[in-house]
Structure 1
Amino acid sequence: MSSVKRHKALVALLGIIVSLTWIYPFVIIFFGSFKNRSEIFTNTLWIPEEVVRDNYPTAYNNLDFTSSFLNSLLITTVSLVVIVIFSSMAAYALARKKSKISTGIYFLCALTMLIPFQSVMIPLVSMFGQVNLLNRFGLIIMNWGFTTSMSIFLYYGAMRSISVSLDEAAYLDGGNPLQIFWRVIFPILKPTTVTVIILNAIRLWNDFLLPSLVINQEGMRTIPLRMYYFFGEYTVQWELALAGLVLAIIPIILLYIFLQKYIVEGVTEGATKS
C-alpha cells in the first residue's frame, strides 16, 4: 500500500472513530427511551431486552408537549427573525461606513461576547420584572440582546468580502440604501444567514437557565423547562426523561440536517475574513 493510500485510510479510520464517538451518546439516549427504569441502570449501553412503548405517550402527555413545543417554537422563531434582520443591517452599516466610530462600535459588539451571562442575569431579570417584561416577550427581548453581538460579528466578516462596487452599481440604477441591502447584498449573505440561524436556534431551543429565570406562567413554559419535571427531589424518571429528550431534539436535528451544507461556508466567511 502506497503512502498516499495509507494516509487516506488512516484519515477515514479516524473520521469513523470520531463519528462514532459523537453519535454513540445519541444512540444510548434512543435505546434508553425504550427501556424501563431498572433496565436503564442494569443495561445502560446496549439495546433494550424488553421494548417499553408506553414511555413516549407518557412523556408526551407529562411534557404537555404540544403547548411546550409551540412555546419553544414561537420564542425561537421570533427571536431568530429579529436577530437576522437587525444584526445583518447593523453589520452592513458598520462595514460600509469607514470611520473610527463604526470601527469602535464593531469592536464594542465583539467585546460584549466576552461578558458571561451569569454576571448580569440577576440584575437583568430584576429590572425586567420591575417593568413587567417577563415571560415570553421579555425572554425574546433578552435573546436579542445576548445573541446579536455574535451575529453581527459573523455578518460583518462576510460583508467585508462583498465588493463595494455592487452597492455603487445598484445606487446608479436608482436604488436607495435599504433597497440595495435587501435586494443586492442580503441574498449574497445566504450562507452566513443560515449559519446565524442554526447556531442561534440550537442555543435558544435548548436554553434552560434564562427561561427558568424569566418565565413564571405555567402555560408559557418551554420544552427544557417541562423536562425538569422528570427530575424530582427523591426520584428521577429516567425512562420518561430520555423519551422526552428524543422528542425535544428531533426538531433541531431536522433543522441542522436541512441547513448543514451551508454551515461550514458561512462560519468561514464570518470568522476568518473579519
Structure 2
Amino acid sequence: MKTNTQSINQVIPVAKTKKKIAPSRILLHIALTIGAIIMVFPFLWTISSSLKDMSQIFAVPPVWIPDPIVWSNYVDSFTAMPFGRAYWNSFYITVVVVVAQLFTGSMAAYAFAKLRFRGSGLLFILFLATMMIPKQVTMIPLYLIMDKINWLDTHLTLIVPGALFNAFAVFLLRQFIRGIPKELEEAAVMDGANPFRIYWSVILPLIRPALAAVGIFIFMGTYNNFIDALIYLSTPENFTVPLLLNNFKGLYVTNWSYMMAGATISVVPVIIVYLFAQRHIIEGVTLTGIKG
C-alpha cells in the first residue's frame, strides 16, 4: 500500500504554491497607473472641450461630460481655416524629412560604425556634442541664412535643415550597425562590392527595426514642429497644422471650442502611426541599446 502511495505521488505532481506578489511590485503598478492617468488627462480634457460650447469650457465646477454635445465644432473648425491645405503641407513635409533623414543618417552611421578613417572618433564626439547646443542659439543665424538665399516663407526652410542633420538618429543607428557581424561585410567585399553597395545591400536590410524606430521619432517631431514654422512661414497657404491651430487664438478672444476640436483632429495621424508602429519603437530602441 505504501508503495502504491509513493507511485501515485510520483505520477501526480504536487500543486505548486501560488507565487506571492511583492509589495514593492504592487506599489510600482499603482504609481505607473497614476502616472498614466495624469498623462492621459490633458488629452481627455481636450476631447471633452472640443464638444462643448464656450459657456461650458469655463464653467465652475468643471463640466466633464458636455451637455449638449456640440458636434458642429469639428465641422466649423475645419472650415474656418484651410485645414485641408495645412494637413497636406504637414504630411508631405514630414514624409520628405523622414525619408531624407533616414537616408543621410544611416549613411553617416555606417561611416562612423564601419569605415575607419583618421579622426573618426573625434569627429563623432564633436557630432554628438551638437546635441547639447540649444535650438535658441541657432535660430537667428539660421534665419539670416534663409533670408540671404530667399527661402523665407517657403517649405524649404522646414525641409532642408532638418533633412540634412540629425545627430540623435546617427547615434541610434550607429549603435545598431556596430552589432552587425564583420563577416557579412567581408563576404560582400569578396564578391566585389564597394562600400556603398555594402551599405545598400547588406546594412540597410539588417537595420530595418532601428530605421522604423528612428523614423517614427522623426515623424512625430517633424509633424508637431511649431517653432520653426512660426519663425519662417508667414503666408496662411504655407502653414502647417500646428501653426494654423495658433490662428484660433485672437488678440482679445480665443475660440477654445474650435481650437480644441482642431487639436483633436491634428493628433489623429500621430496616434495612428504610433499605434501601428509601437512594436517597432520598442524593438528598435531595445536592440540599439544592447548592440555594440
Q: TM-score range, shorter-chain basis? A: over 0.9
The residue that corresponds to 1:269 in the other structure is 287
1:16 positional shift: 2.5
| Corresponding residue to 1:80 among 84, 98, 110 | 98
Instruction: Check conservation: 1:91, 1:159, Cα contact below 8 A.
Output: yes
Instruction: Check conservation: 2:236, 2:244, Cα contact below 8 A.
Output: no
The residue that corresponds to 1:21 in the other structure is 38
1:45 positional shift: 5.9
* Equivalent runs, 1:79-158 vs 2, <5 Å: 79-134=97-152, 135-145=154-164, 148-158=166-176
**Structure 1: stretches of 5+ with no match in the other structure:** none
**Structure 2: stretches of 5+ with no match in the other structure:** 1-17
1:175 positional shift: 2.7
Structure-2 separation of matches of 1:272 and 1:122 = 39
1:41 matched to 2:58: yes
The residue that corresponds to 1:57 in the other structure is 75
What are the superposed Cα offsets for residues 11-38 of structure 1, whole Å, 9 maximum, x if unpaired? 4433332222222221111111100111
Instruction: Check conservation: 2:82, 2:237, Cα contact below 8 A.
Output: no
Moved over 3 A (4+): 5-15, 268-274
The residue that corresponds to 1:188 in the other structure is 206
SS at match of 2:166: helix
Instruction: Check conservation: 2:216, 2:277, Cα contact below 8 A.
Output: yes
| Corresponding residue to 1:164 among 182, 203, 219 | 182
The one-letter code sitting in structure 2 at the alignment partner of 1:162 is I
- Seen in structure 2, the aligned counterparts of structure 1 residues 45 and 171 have a Cα distance that, compared at 3 Å, is farther
1:94 positional shift: 1.3
Q: What TM-score do the two structures reach when normalised by structure 2?
A: 0.87
Larger radius of gyration: 2
1:221 positional shift: 0.8
Cα-Cα RMSD: 1.9
Structure-2 separation of matches of 1:241 and 1:44 = 18
Structure-1 separation of matches of 2:207 and 2:26 = 36
Instruction: Check conservation: 1:95, 1:159, Cα contact below 8 A.
Output: yes
The residue that corresponds to 2:4 in the other structure is none
Q: Which moved more, 1:262-271 or 1:187-196?
A: 262-271
Structure-1 separation of matches of 2:32 and 2:140 = 43
Q: Which moved more, 1:96-105 or 1:214-223?
A: 96-105
The one-letter code sitting in structure 1 at the alignment partner of 2:268 is I
Give the number of aligned pairs. 273
Structure-2 separation of matches of 1:130 and 1:218 = 22
**Bigger fraction of residues in helix:** 1
Structure-2 separation of matches of 1:218 and 1:46 = 34
SS at match of 2:180: coil
What are the superposed Cα offsets for residues 181-222 of structure 1, whole Å, 9 maximum, x if unpaired? 222211221121112111111111111111111123331110
1:85 positional shift: 0.2
1:149 positional shift: 1.2
1:269 positional shift: 3.5
What are the superposed Cα offsets for residues 56-100 of structure 1, whole Å, 9 maximum, x if unpaired? 011111231110000001111101110000110111011112344
SS at match of 2:174: helix
Identity across the alignment (%): 32
The residue that corresponds to 2:14 in the other structure is none
The one-letter code sitting in structure 1 at the alignment partner of 2:49 is G
